[in-house]
Amino acid sequence: MGILVDENTRVVVQGITGREGSFVTKEMLRYGTKVLAGVTPGKGGEVVHGVPVYDTLKQALAAHPTINASLVYVPPLSAKDAAIEAISNGIRLVNIITERVPIHDTSDLYSYAVSKGARVVGPTSVGILTPGKCKLGPIGGTNPDFQFKPGRIGIVSKSGSMTSETAWVLCQAGFGISTALSVGGDVIACSTFADLLPLFEADPDTDAVVMFGEPGGVYEEQAAKLVKEGGFTKPLIAFIAGKFADAMPSGITFGHAGAIMERGMGSPLQKVEALRAAGVRVADVHHEITTLTAEALAQRAAAV
Amino acid sequence: MNLYEYEGKSLFKKYGIRVPEGIFINAPQNAGNIEAFVEEVGEVAVKAQVLSGKRGKAGGVRFCKTAEGTELAVELLLHATIHGSESVGVLVEQRLAIVGEYYLSLTFDGWHRAPVAILSQQGGMEVEELTQRHPEKTVIRPIDSIFGLPEWKAREIAAEAGFREERMRKMADLMVRAYRCFRENDIRLLEINPVIETPKGNFFAADAVVILDDDAMTRHRDFNYPPRGGLGRPLTERELQAKLIDQNDYRGVAGKYIELDGDIAMMSAGGGGSITNMDALISYGGRPANYTEYGGNPPAEKVEKLTRVVLSKPGLTACWHVGAVANNTRVDITMEGFIAGLRAIRPPFPIVVRRGGPAWEEARAALERAREELHLDMTIFGPEMPMTESAKVVLQKSEEYKNKLRGLNC
């Protein structure tokens, strides 16, 4: 099982002819992901690693009606248009890898996605991976099996590189991954921790979730609230990066765009406090997540 | 990018938002028309142009009634240092009579994941204080991103904040104009604090805080704002150099560089990894010389430029090149850029690398060759070493290097 992507995921890559888009397509195909089509306006008729390219998403869907997910890999100022094109054409899962999307654009496309009931992950996502079944996006790079062994721990992270590092540390400790994804570190994340934790809650193949948070915004606080209100009952283990930034002048962005601390909000220490108050295990140093995960699972097993 | 008050106000004027009449002076030789201005408008406010808040309390604003007094205040504030940041000039403005002071801002909010309008009849205080002390007098309302802020919605918000009759209508009009400005200029935060009401019932923006979205700059080629730090201080030479790295080149990101006080040069990859490693270094007692992050598979030349910037800071005792097991950043290519930078700088201090990801083994071999060729004290770790644990190695190496330097001085 896992969440969002599995063996039934059929992918179109928007921006497939770009340097990154084409490279990632090759990697996804090698992993066994079913990439049926690509879209690059003006390059219809080309073929990228055996995948046919269309000018419009509508044409791609007409030729490949089973497509059910889009990977958006277009330049920043085109990301909104591409995502809305996908949603307008009825695609229910859109994963935006593009970084540096203007916030007004993200806000527009999020509003549109909500109105159409589509799930958008990103922008600035590194992708979604369900080990052995589907790799959507650059997550795991050329050799995902190295960091992402199949198993029963979910990972949701604001940071792309830390999604893999977290998986690596967990797998080194003998755990495996059900689904790992990064939601991006922008001020507006189209999917947040609190949006995705209920999916992991409902997934019979996930026993616990490890979450990687960062300074800024309220998404970690929302996750704490969800746990407190009983919306997520499986063990949740968190690490919040950027505690050093508390000592820095407010208004500077360290890390991702959303990591800006403005108006006294978004402090990592406050996030840690909120999560701990909700009963979430929070690691002080990143590699401690493994010990906390083991503890949480042992405690749960003893309780059953 | 944060705009100075005078820049923000000139943007406001284009949208028909009233601002007090004023002149911006950035050098003494440009101050010639003060006398005529004071004669024309009467009492004036002389305001230092700095990006830090709480300027008034720090003596950055003076009120004057005469031309002589104004000239003195201009001289005093022209290059004043307010909260550690040097003023880029002064704004001399007409001082208006005030019958009301209000608060208005437009920004984005993570709870709504949409633009929000924040409006209150209690103007003049900081928004944190406002929302804590007068939550009942402050309304925060989301705005439909696609639909925008129509007049009826603005009237609703103004009415909810307690504005009545003509005041309600005028505040709604101001909000509609401010929202258009916010939207059309890709603004992340637009704050008018206070909005002042004059005895004639007109609303003016007495201050202007505007933060533009750096990610949208390429669709505003008409913007002509000189580079600035947003750090409460001017950019250093190296910070300016770093800013140029990503200009007009979207292949990856390598231009984020903030100079700090410490002695350990940070070459860090990934936004999340970079802050995790800053935490680790500091928690083990180290002092970073800078913050940086590169990622998104940048080409070698970008990483080379960043390396040169990072390693050129005086007083370094070690360099920590650290990143998580990369997903898609070609580690051999980024390390090629790093090695080119090492070749140019030839650092005498120790270097510790911890990395992994696509083509890591090739990268490791290239680093080993460079170590030999350039006679570097470089320790190289792959994924076998936990990322945050390599911080301890850097600190140990830095200590050794400092001891060596002390020995040489004796």
Q: Tens digit of pLDDT for each residue in A41-61?
A: 999 999 999 999 999 999 999
DSSP state for residue A245 in the 8-state scheme: G
Can you read off the two tokens belonging to residue A193? 């921790």
Q: Which pair of tokens denotes residue A220?
A: 């970690």
Dist CA A82 CA B397 (whole Å): 49
Mean pLDDT of chain B: 91
Decide if A268 contacts A246 (C-beta within 8 A). Answer: yes
Give tens-digit pLDDT for B260-311: 989 999 999 988 899 999 988 998 999 999 999 998 889 999 999 999 999 9
- In angstroms, the CA B350 to CA B335 distance is 17
CA distance A20 to A81: 19
Nearest to B82 by CA among B236, B233, B237: B233
Q: What are the residues whose beta carbons fall under 8 Å from the beta carbon of B202, sequence distance 6 or more?
A: B18, B170
B385: which DSSP letter? S
- Cα–Cα distance, B243 to A282 (Å, whole number): 35
CA distances (Å), B224 to each of B51, B227, B228, B293, in order?
Answer: 17, 9, 12, 27
> Do B266 and B238 touch, CB atoms closer than 8 A?
no
DSSP B306-349: HHHHHHTSTT--EEEEEEEE-SSS-HHHHHHHHHHHHHHH--SS
Residues 6 or more apart in contact with residue B406 via CB below 8 angstroms? none
Cβ within 8 Å, pair B325-A168: yes
A87 against A303, higher pLDDT: A87
Residue A89: exposed, middle, or buried by beta-carbon count in 10 A (0-12, 13-18, 19+)? middle
Q: How far apart are the first and last CA of chain B?
A: 48
Closest to A103 (Cβ–Cβ): which among B144, B213, B278? B213
B51-85: per-residue pLDDT in tens?
Answer: 877 788 888 999 999 999 999 999 999 988 887 77
User: In this structure, are residues A135 and A143 in contact, taking their beta carbons and an 8 Å threshold?
Assistant: no
Least CB–CB distance from B115: residue in A27, A107, A169: A107
Q: Distances in Å between the alpha carbon of A147 and those of A157, A162, B164?
A: 15, 11, 61
Say if A81 is an interface residue toward chain B (CB within 8 Å).
no
Catalytic residues of A: 256
Contact in structure between A35 and A11 (CB atoms under 8 Å): yes
At B397, list the tokens. 């190496």
Task: Find out whether B372 and B378 touch, Cβ atoms under 8 Å.
Answer: no
Give the pLDDT of residue A258. 57
Question: Is the Cβ of A162 closer than 8 Å to some Cβ of chain B?
Answer: yes
The helix or strand, by DSSP H or E, that contains position A37, with its residue range, turns out to be strand A34-39
Percent of chain B at pLDDT exceeding 90: 71
Average pLDDT over residues A178-205: 97
ipTM beyond cut 0.90: yes
Residues B354, A127, A97: CA angle, nearest 5 degrees: 95
* Per-residue pLDDT tens over the stretch B325-380: 888 788 999 999 999 999 999 999 999 999 998 899 999 999 999 999 999 999 99
Contact A215 B275 (CB under 8 A): yes
Q: Tell me the C-alpha distance between A8 and A1, whole Å.
A: 10
Question: Number of CB pairs < 8 Å for A and B?
Answer: 185
Q: Do A162 and B258 touch (CB under 8 A)?
A: no
What integer pLDDT is reported at residue B52 of this predicted model?
A: 72
Q: Please check the confidence at residue B228 and state whether its pLDDT lies above 80.
A: no
Q: How far is B220 from chain A (nearest CA, A)?
A: 12
- A-chain CB neighbours of B235 within 8 Å are none
**Euclidean distance between CA atoms B216 and B204, whole angstroms:** 28
CB contact under 8 A, A244 and B188: no
Residues 6+ apart with CB under 8 A from B355: B269, B321, B322, B323, B325, B326, B331, B335, B363, B381, B382
Question: Any CB–CB contact under 8 A between A223 and chain B?
Answer: no
CA-nearest residue to A263 within chain B is B128
Say what the pLDDT of residue B72 is. Answer: 92
Residues of B in contact with A215 (CB under 8 A): 275
What's the number of CA atoms in the CB half-sphere (13 Å) around residue B64? 24
pLDDT 10s digits, B128-184 = 777 777 778 889 999 999 999 999 999 999 999 999 999 999 999 999 999 999 999
Nearest chain B alpha carbon to A144:
B327
Say whether B272 and A185 touch across the interface (CB within 8 A). Answer: yes
Residue B331 CA to residue B325 CA, distance in Å, equals 9
Least Cα distance to A134 among A203, A34, A65 occurs for: A34
A261 band by pLDDT with thresholds 50, 70 and 90:
very low
3-state secondary structure of B45: strand
Q: What is the pLDDT of residues A92-146, one digit of tens each?
A: 999 999 999 999 999 999 999 999 999 999 999 999 999 999 999 999 988 899 8
